[in-house]
Amino acid sequence: MARRKYRLSSSGRGRGNLGYWLATLVVLAFIGWLWWKSGETQTRRPTASTVPRTNQPAPPSAQTVPRSRSPAASLQPNSPSPATTTFPRPPKDTLETQIALARLGISSGSIDGVNGSQTRAALLAFQRRTGLTASGELDAATRAALSVDGAPLTNYVVTSNDLARLQPLSKTWLGKSQQTALDYESILELVAELGHASPNLIRRLNPGVDWTNTLAGTSVQIPVADYPAPTAKAAFLVISLAEKKLEAFDANTNLLAHFPCSIAARVEKRPAGELHVTAIAPNPNYTFDPAVFPESEEARQIQTKLMIPPGPNNPVGTAWISLDKPGYGIHGTPNPEQVGRTESHGCFRLANWNAEYLIKLVSVDTPVYVEP
């Protein structure tokens, strides 16, 4: 009986121990479950970037933000923003070199970012003016002496007034004479002249602009190439026929301005020696004389003079300086990117912006020395 009682007692203790361990396991499992839930909750806790704000929309993800191509991405290197750049500083590339020179009144022609003959001629003019070795290259000494004094590019916003100016240019002399003005034909042409630049450069700076349908409010990047305000009148001008350049000097022979220049195609129409300014006319009209254009079939048929209205597409551009040789003058042109690369009927042709600056420097009787 005692043995049986022992066995019953032993059996009861066994069941009690089993229950204890089962209870312990349940408790541990519950604690583990609570710990796991706590960790999951912390993992899923919203961060500041994922909480939608009621007053401000959450920023879109990188995949949904359209990346706008930098306007200067096709040029090298890209122009830094004014906010992160200290000026003055040396020019970084050919484009900035041309802009820095222009701000000194030294033109490399239509600014295009290309290191061609007119850029080298402009560098030569700067080197001679500053007493540097005349190499025509942007060497270390020239780069150190030539500085960019502000952001090289700026945004220009097209206005409704700009659009109102546009009109097609007649292909005939008679048609031109009947227009109200010979103004710009396109916004591309207008903003290129504002920036003293070639249309190709403006296209590269603004790859996203639709130039066939440019609306008011369109923002475009153009060079900042304004000339310095004149501090003195030119004592004399020198035109080099061989180098196709015009330069203005003060009374102490300091260089005031340097411009590429087109000359007469025919040698016998290239005057040499000393001439003088006799008249100055901003935004002039133009008298078409058929006798001056014997190669034109239309001129031979018209056989009468026509008055061509003013404007940037006028044959003499936006400025005229008469010389004391009948029929000769210094003037602008409707095709500034061709200055110094093509030839004229006899006058000295400059880009419109260069002719406009020159009339601020000269006076009646200013000597003009034309060198072979």
Residue 364 sits in a domain of what CATH number? 2.40.440.10
Question: Which residues share a beta bridge with 240?
Answer: 245, 371
Judgement on whether residues 253 and 364 belong to the same structural domain of the protein: yes
Reported as a single tens digit per residue, the pLDDT across 45-71 is 333 333 333 333 333 332 222 323 333
- Report pLDDT for 78: 36
- Per the structure block, which two tokens stand in for 304? 């009468």
Q: Which of 131, 150, 169 is the last residue of a domain?
A: 150
Task: Give me the amino acid identity at 6.
Answer: Y
- Residue 28 and residue 179: Cα distance in Å, rounded? 97
Q: Are 145 and 130 in contact (CB under 8 A)?
A: yes
Judgement on whether residues 140 and 241 belong to the same structural domain of the protein: no
What's the total number of domains in the chain?
Answer: 2
Which are the contacts of 113, defined by CB distance < 8 A and separation ≥ 6? 75, 93, 94, 95, 98, 201, 204
Reported as a single tens digit per residue, the pLDDT across 295-336 is 888 988 988 999 999 999 999 999 999 999 988 999 999 999
Q: Which of 130, 150, 170 is the last residue of a domain?
A: 150
pTM: predicted TM-score of the whole model, two decimal places: 0.76
Q: Looking at 241-299, which runs of residues are DSSP E strands?
A: 245-249, 255-260, 273-282, 286-288
Whether residue 120 is contained in a domain is answered as yes
Whether residue 111 is contained in a domain is answered as yes
Range of the domain at 109: 85-150
- Residue 46 and residue 280: Cα distance in Å, rounded? 74
Lowest mean pLDDT among 35-39, 58-62, 176-180, 209-213: 58-62
How many helices and strands (H and E) does the chain possess? 10, 12
Judgement on whether residues 243 and 363 belong to the same structural domain of the protein: yes
Lowest mean pLDDT among 67-76, 122-131, 160-169, 271-280: 67-76
CATH number at residue 129: 1.10.101
Q: Which of 95, 127, 150 is the last residue of a domain?
A: 150
Which are the contacts of 110, defined by CB distance < 8 A and separation ≥ 6? 192, 196, 197, 198, 201, 336, 337, 339, 351
Distance of CA 316 to the CA centre of its chain: 25
